[in-house]
Amino acid sequence: MTIHSEQELEAVLARPSARDVAAFKELAGDIIILGVAGKMGPSLARRARRASDEAGASRRIIGVARFSEAGVREQLERDGIETIAADLLDGESLSKLPDAPNVVFMAGRKFGSTGSEELTWAMNTYLPALVAERYRDAKIVAFSSGNIYPFTPIATGGPTETHPPAPVGEYAQSVLGRERMFQYCSKRFGTGAQSGSTL
């Protein structure tokens, strides 16, 4: 398949597979996507909306973000995703978000850590703990990053999930912190949390 434009790429990324539709027939309840306005969030939200519709399921797909990039919120709403503008680091805003039995955590600070490392750690490590407590009764899927693994020679094929973490730099370290916070809170609250490396 040859992709000729961003629009074509988005159409492919947002197209649910037969397995997606089957999974959405079995899934119970609404889905809330935290950090929906990032690099992968809009595609995932659209795919979830379409898979749910094709499955004949009546559920809300809710996307939460600051929506600092113009047009993203409006595009999502046109595609049937409910949106909520919120600063997730604000405790009051987080507490007012709707309950949902299924949470996809995609919020985070990915680049530009230099000079404001504390914000990177707050977003990538402190916020996951807040979210895991707020949604302690939900199933949580949290995205990670291959950056938590050590540098490896290209000839070896790169690291796998069997490699012990060895993050380099503030971003990678804080992302490993994200995983550890979700693991801790999952054990503490008995949350159905799943955490793993980026797919």
Q: State pLDDT tens for residues 62-103.
A: 999 999 888 999 999 999 999 999 999 999 999 999 999 999
- Contact status, residue 192 vs residue 139, Cβ threshold 8 Å: yes
Tens of pLDDT, residues 29-49:
999 999 999 889 999 999 999
Residues 69 and 94 in one domain: no
Give SS3 for 31.
Answer: strand
Q: Kindly state whether residue 25 falls inside one of the protein's structural domains.
A: no
CATH for 159: 3.40.50.720
- How many CB atoms within 10 Å of residue 132? 24
Task: Name the domain count of the chain.
Answer: 2
Residues 99 and 172 in one domain: yes
Residues 193 and 100 in one domain: yes
Host domain of residue 43: 34-85
Instruction: Indicate whether this model's pTM tops 0.85.
Output: yes
CA distance 152 to 189: 36
State which of 23, 52, 85 marks the end of a domain. 85
Q: Kindly state whether residue 53 falls inside one of the protein's structural domains.
A: yes
Q: Kindly state whether residue 122 falls inside one of the protein's structural domains.
A: yes
Residues 40 and 112 in one domain: no
Residues 190 and 147 in one domain: yes
